[in-house]
Structure 1
Amino acid sequence: MPTSRLFAFLIVLVILSGCGGPRAITGLESVSARGEPAAIVPIFVSTSRERSDNLALPYSAERSQKLNFAKFDIGIPQHHVPGSVEKSGRMPDPERHFTARSYRQIDGRKQFIAQLNEALALRAPEHREIFIFVHGYNNNFADSIFRNAQITHDYNVKSVALHYAWPSGGALPLYVFDRDSALVGRDGLAETIEIAAQTNARRIVLVGHSMGSYVVMEALRDLAISGRGRHLKRLGGVVLAAPDIDMDVFESQANDIGELPQPFMIVVSRRDRALGISTRVAGGHPRVGSGSDIAFLQSKGITVLDVSDLDGGRHGVFASSPTLMDLVNNGQLLRTTIRDEQTAVSPTILADGGAVIEGAASLVIFLPSRIIGRLAIVGAVR
């Protein structure tokens, strides 16, 4: 292999390691032989992966032409550290590892909607929401659903958790395969959003991480240009965390979508090494998650959270940051944003939790241009 090609290949391996770690298995094949976890997180699944007869990974990396539906109960280990996904590629121990405690296939859209509605009805009215999570690159099925369960548990999400699993190859050398699979998976996510919109949910929140953010934008674009834009109005919030999307591609996607669902938030970091190397592989074309053009994102009505100085600013900081969890779980982040949207005219907010949240002042919030303009008018009138 020529030196230049070898160098490029090594760079790609480093990129992919940003979403890596040991490969997980569900543990379903031996669930009766193990102890009890500390907590159980129910996760509904909509996936464009093919079903597998292997209970260790009941959905493979093969691409399915139709959506498959299921419900899992995921065990949180006894010794769980918030922000971590403790996993094993061998026999998982429920005291030390995430495990799937049960798995039930669901037959078709109609039954899936019915079961989502049943889960919604069990919640207090203010929590009758659906939280859709879209995983990043280099994830097998167990890796991705465990991350969803970790976020749901650690962020104390009260909504019904709905995991969208697109057919990532779950292996370091398969970056191109994953990029192609992200395009294959966009139709399935668009259909999943459509399904969620047909439930009794009061609100739908959509979160994509890394390459999963590319799937999210492509799905929103697909809904907008195919005459199904009404479903976008059911979205009560979209978050893209460390999006691995070319800035020019994102602009084209946003233009095709038109009016973005609100609120729309992007989490960026200048210290995201994975996205930095991705930029180099792309010939210097910056990624959205690197925070290279925050002013453009603001002009599109997007709120930007700059986590460069928050708990290391790593690629997965959105899911692993203790500070961010504390800010969300005690409502400090929401109160800070609302307070400063109402009173400030600066384009940025330095989140300040004071003595309540240690390290909170490391988070910078860039408000959308529409809010800055409105606040400037209010300030002038005052």
Structure 2
Amino acid sequence: MLAVLSGCGGRAVTGLQAGVSGEKSAAVVPIFLATNRARSDNPALPYSAERSQMLNFAEFDIGIPGNHMPGRVETSSRVPDPARQFAALDYRPIEDRKRFVAALNAALAKRAPADREIFIFVHGYNNNVAESLFRNAQITHDYGINSVSLHYAWPSGGAIPLYVFDRDSVIVGRRGLAETIEIAAQTNATNVVLVGHSMGAYVVMEALRDLALSGRQRYLQRFGGVVLAAPDIDIDAFQSQADDIGKLPQPFTIIVSRRDRALGFSRRIAGGHPRVGSGADIALLQSRGITVLDVSELEGGTHSVFASSKTLMKLVDNSRLMRATLDDEKASTEPSALAASAAAVEGATSLTLFLPARLIGRIATTTPSQ
């Protein structure tokens, strides 16, 4: 059972060991890191599973191998070959928050005005720091994200039997993510996009709750979008979190799958309580102003389909569809635009879009495969 829950990767190492050269990498993706993992003297994993009471900051250059297949993260448990595996080619610790903000601003200034956005990714259960960094780089590369990528690594134990340890680490990690969001909001970014996967979605909701309850709601207004992919959150706990947050950042999107085996086992561990990511109560999510994307029939509807689906990658390339799906306040969004955009992408008929209840009547939500 736990083996299925471990669908977030194997035991990769960074490749920071001596002898690794980036000359064989086909592409290099810069990833900024904020983490409340403790620093380690081990270059293979420079941040451990130990919990830190303060944030650590760094910037990594992640090499994408020439044989990379979109949606996959090719890794090695030994010193990686950059021609065949993901590898960290450079690692620059950043001393403090002030210098971290300056580094983010410098990266933003190098981008075109339309791309001066910060993309924050929060990993799921059973990840060490190498695996989570590589997943962030894979998403950034495969989806063609031109934003500044900022990875938040909470202290997952990175081991299959440590599910309960990871659930406890969510609580430890929430303030660190709240601070990371605050930092991103204080930069020169035009907006911030936040994506949490699996148990990382729990960290996201707890961080948003922390910001709201501590009087820092203004930072929630800096979001250009929040996405929870396969959230491993009890539906009742989610309602409580949403109540505490109040008005959720908009647009707010949740990706669900009724065929997600990992969340099925998580539900069993939790005594049968349904998980948000299983699509247990879509109507409830719609009533809270949330857009729901059902990927149950998309490429197996697996736990990590959000990161590996070629169909979703093509949809992201289709700006008309993404505007219609995520920017749901635009009056120009029409059912015809959704249908025409989706029809242009092979595999889009496997998707079902449920728009927020407030839009029902203004935008059709009954058209299959929107």
TM-score by length of 2: 0.94
Q: Corresponding residue for 2:334?
A: 343
For 2:230, the equivalent position in structure 1 comes to 242
Report deviation, 1:329.
1.6
Larger Rg: 1
Aligned length: 360
TM-score, length-scaled by structure 1: 0.91
Per the alignment, do residues 50 and 19 of structure 1 end up closer, same or farther by CA in structure 2, a change over 3 Å counting?
same
> 1:331 Cα shift?
2.3
How has the CA–CA distance of structure 1 residues 173 and 341 changed in structure 2, closer, same or farther, with 3 Å as cutoff? farther
- What is the CA distance between 1:370 and its match in structure 2? 1.1
Matched residue, 1:275: 263
Ranges in structure 2 where 5+ consecutive residues have no aligned partner: 365-370
Q: Which position in structure 2 is the counterpart of 1:176?
A: 164
Q: Would you say 1:265 and 2:253 are equivalent positions? A: yes
- Counterpart of 2:103 (choices 105, 115, 118) is 115
Q: Does 2:4 correspond to 1:19?
A: no
Q: Check whether the contact 1:25–1:57 (CA below 8 A) recurs between aligned residues.
A: yes
Kindly state the Cα deviation for residue 336 of structure 1 after the two structures are TM-superposed.
5.0
Note closer, same or farther for the CA distance 1:33–1:334 as it changes in structure 2 (3 Å cut): closer
Instruction: Give the alignment partner of residue 330 of structure 1, picking from 304, 318, 333.
Output: 318
Q: Is residue 200 of structure 2 the alignment partner of residue 212 of structure 1?
A: yes
The amino acid that maps onto 1:171 is: A
**Counterpart contact for 2:6–2:125, Cα < 8 Å:** no
In 2 relative to 1, CA 340–231 (structure 1 residues): closer, same or farther, beyond 3 Å?
closer
CA contact (8 A) 1:352 1:360 kept: no
Counterpart position of 1:92: 80
Report how far residue 306 of structure 1 moved. Answer: 0.3
| 8 Å CA contact 1:323, 1:359 repeated in 2 | yes
Q: Aligned partners of 1:263 and 1:353: how far apart in 2?
A: 20
Asked if 1 retains the 8 angstrom alpha-carbon contact of 2:22 and 2:63, the reply is: no
Task: Kindly state the Cα deviation for residue 151 of structure 1 after the two structures are TM-superposed.
Answer: 0.1
Write the deviation string for residues 102-137 of structure 1: whole angstroms up to 9, x where unpaired.
Answer: 000001110000010000000010100000000000
Cα–Cα, structure 1 residues 214 and 184, in superposed 2: closer, same or farther, change >3 Å?
same
Q: Which position in structure 2 is the counterpart of 1:42?
A: 30
Verify the 8 A CA contact 2:324 2:333 in the aligned structure 1: no
Contact 2:20–2:79, Cα closer than 8 Å, also in 1: no
Structure 1 unmatched ranges of 5 or more? 1-10, 377-382
Q: In the alignment, what sits opposite 1:5?
A: none
- Indicate the SS of the match to 1:312: helix
Please tell me the residue identity of whatever aligns with 2:158: G
Q: Deviations over 1:284-308 (max 9, x none)?
A: 1100000010000000000000000
Percent identity for Structure 1 against Structure 2: 70
Task: Please give the secondary structure, in 2, of the residue aligned with 1:144.
Answer: helix
Shift of 1:31: 4.6
8 Å Cα contact 2:5/2:265 also seen in 1: no
Q: Measure, in 2, the Cα distance between the counterparts of 1:54 and 1:16.
A: 27
Root-mean-square deviation (Å): 1.8
